[in-house]
């Protein structure tokens, strides 16, 4: 891991994070201060310049902005700071930071193999093989092979029982639309499950380069031998869409493609989300076992691993790795998996959205970050039922800033202006290039950005800007935000 630090740590600022008094008055001292006359005049000039930038924002736009100097306890600019607003992917700041602070950066998120056979010295598992997931959303086919190679090292050549996949660490509500009622999000996600393989999706590739009325050609990626495609769709002269349906049995994953596709030079790609992730994983595990010369006599199914089962193999990632992947690229799927992990950790029960919400809200209340009207219903920020104040976002970022035990891990998980992640194409040719570490957020009619800025004078600032709009496009509001951040870089 690369450790980066903004200028605070070179100044040996005393950490106040664990102080009860600090947590109690955190929001208060964001705003209550007595700056010098010179500082007051400087802030007035800065406020005037920011107001001039905002002058071009169309009427009816709801803007919430808070900018502070965390070391001087100085509020540089505030507008609608305590007004709840849709945060979009700025919600991920809460999901990732609370996970990091409750579980710690080295907490292991595992996928494990178990068996109910106590004697493995004879090369045979006389019983079942279980694969259990604990929310590793980055688990791939390569990781599955690593698990199986550990069986090879034990000399296992045969399994007399069944291959059973266990995703009971989470609930079995896989779709966000099923746990967030009265909302149909326009962002599609794979099933959110505790047992994940290749992000719980694969790609069906259809080619219509043949002559009219011939069946479409197809391939799948990654390739699974247990995925069977019944191709009924044909090349057509007219515009048409294929109709894709599928279901899973204990032996195979069946896809039916009906309808048609207009003749064209390039193939079309369709994401397939297995509706039963544990059964799909069981099929994939069985396939890899047999490829590695391990014979399976029983069936493939899904269910719960017995408490008495013996662990025989483990692959894991850390919380630090997962939050980095989540924040830099604003990964919605990872955020929702992490959200349920957080719920399981907090409750000691099966991970679900209710426990996850309780974990986040309880944490921000206990740490003086909560504002009236704050509401968090998912981990990614896709839902418009999420409502957060920029005051809460800034208070959250400040609490992390003052906590050296987790600051570097969190700071390094954020996108860097002009360098990587969702900020790679922003602030490139400005004074703020490489100086802003932050999290963006975008929904239809919402644009958000929050994070840490180190100015040209080596001053550390915390910035949160969220705009809800119904005129102009998101690019316009991103430009407004970038102009404000660039101005801060130069002036402070």
Q: At what angle do helices 141-153 and 277-291 cross, to 10 degrees?
A: 50
Whole-number pLDDT of residue 70: 96
pLDDT for 345 equals: 98
Contact 398, 193 (CB under 8 A): no
Angle, alpha carbons 263-269-275 (nearest 5°):
130
Q: Can you give the pLDDT at residue 210?
A: 75
Domains defined along the chain, listed by start: 7-106+320-491 (3.40.710.10), 202-272 (no CATH)
- Tokens 């907090």 appear where? 346
- Whole-number pLDDT of residue 185: 62
Going residue by residue through the chain, which has 492 residues, state the pLDDT in tens, using 9 for 90 and above: 333 434 443 333 333 334 444 344 444 545 444 556 666 667 888 999 999 999 999 999 999 999 999 999 899 999 999 999 999 999 999 999 999 999 999 999 999 999 999 999 999 999 999 999 999 999 999 999 999 998 989 999 999 999 999 999 999 999 877 667 666 666 789 999 999 999 999 999 999 877 888 999 999 999 999 999 999 999 998 888 899 999 988 899 999 999 999 888 789 999 999 999 999 999 999 999 999 999 999 999 999 999 999 999 999 999 999 999 999 999 999 999 999 999 999 999 999 999 999 999 999 999 999 988 999 999 999 999 999 999 999 999 999 999 999 999 999 999 999 999 999 999 999 999 999 999 999 999 999 999 999 999 999 999 999 999 999 999 999 999 999 999 999 987
- What pLDDT is attached to residue 38? 62
Identify the pLDDT of residue 179.
64
Q: Which residues contact 133 (CB under 8 A, 6 or more apart)?
A: 110, 111, 139, 165, 166, 167, 169, 193, 194, 195, 196, 278, 281
Which two three-digit tokens encode residue 269?
Answer: 């790609």
Do residues 400 and 408 make contact, with C-beta atoms less than 8 angstroms apart?
no
Report the pLDDT value the prediction gives residue 21, as an integer from 0 to 100. 40
Which of 322, 398, 336, 328 is CA-nearest to residue 367? 398
Beta pairing partners, 446: 443, 468
Total residue count of the chain as it appears in this document? 492
Q: What is the greatest pairwise CA distance in the chain?
A: 82
Q: What is the pLDDT of residue 175?
A: 86
């Amino acid at each position: 891991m690369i450790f980066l630090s903004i200028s605070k740590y070179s100044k040996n600022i005393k950490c106040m994070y664990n102080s009860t008094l600090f947590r109690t008055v955190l929001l208060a001292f964001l705003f209550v201060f007595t700056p010098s006359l010179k500082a007051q005049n400087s802030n007035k000039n800065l406020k005037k310049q920011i107001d001039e930038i905002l002058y071009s924002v169309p009427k009816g736009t709801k803007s919430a902005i808070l900018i502070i100097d965390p070391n001087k306890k100085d509020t540089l600019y505030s507008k609608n700071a305590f007004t709840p607003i849709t945060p979009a992917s700025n919600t991920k700041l809460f999901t990732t930071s609370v996970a990091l602070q409750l579980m710690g950066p080295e907490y292991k998120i595992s996928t494990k193999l178990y068996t109910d056979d106590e004697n493995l010295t004879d090369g045979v598992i006389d019983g079942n093989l279980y694969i259990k997931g604990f929310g590793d959303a980055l688990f791939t086919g390569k990781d599955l092979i690593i698990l199986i190679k550990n069986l090879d090292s034990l000399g296992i050549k045969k399994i007399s029982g069944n291959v059973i996949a266990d995703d009971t660490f989470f609930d079995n509500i896989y779709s966000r639309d099923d746990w967030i009622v009265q909302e149909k999000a326009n962002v599609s996600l794979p099933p959110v499950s505790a047992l994940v393989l290749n992000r719980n999706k694969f790609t069906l590739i259809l080619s219509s380069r043949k002559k009219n009325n011939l069946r479409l050609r197809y391939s799948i990626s990654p390739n699974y031998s247990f995925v069977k495609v019944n191709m009924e769709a044909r090349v057509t002269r007219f515009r048409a869409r294929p109709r894709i349906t599928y279901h899973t049995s204990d032996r195979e994953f069946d896809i039916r493609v009906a309808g048609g596709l207009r003749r064209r030079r390039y193939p079309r790609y369709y994401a397939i989300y297995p509706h039963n992730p544990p059964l799909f994983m069981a099929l994939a595990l069985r396939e890899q076992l047999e490829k590695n010369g391990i014979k399976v006599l029983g069936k493939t199914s899904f269910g719960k691993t017995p408490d008495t089962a013996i662990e025989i193999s483990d692959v894991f990632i850390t919380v630090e790795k997962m939050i980095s992947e989540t924040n830099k690229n604003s990964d919605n799927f990872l955020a929702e998996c992490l959200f349920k992990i957080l719920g399981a950790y907090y409750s000691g029960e099966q991970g679900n959205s209710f426990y996850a919400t309780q974990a986040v809200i309880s944490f921000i209340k206990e740490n003086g970050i909560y504002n009236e009207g704050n509401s968090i219903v998912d981990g990614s920020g896709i839902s418009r039922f999420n409502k957060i104040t920029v005051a809460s976002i800034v208070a959250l970022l400040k609490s992390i800033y003052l906590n050296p035990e987790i600051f570097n891990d969190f700071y390094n998980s954020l996108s860097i202006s002009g360098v990587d992640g969702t900020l790679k194409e922003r602030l490139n040719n400005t004074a703020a290039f490489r100086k802003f570490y932050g999290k963006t957020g975008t929904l239809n009619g919402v644009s958000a950005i929050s994070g840490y800025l180190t100015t040209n004078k080596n001053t550390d600032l915390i910035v949160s800007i969220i705009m809800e709009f119904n005129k102009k496009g998101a690019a316009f509001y991103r430009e407004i935000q970038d102009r404000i951040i660039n101005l801060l870089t130069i002036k402070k």
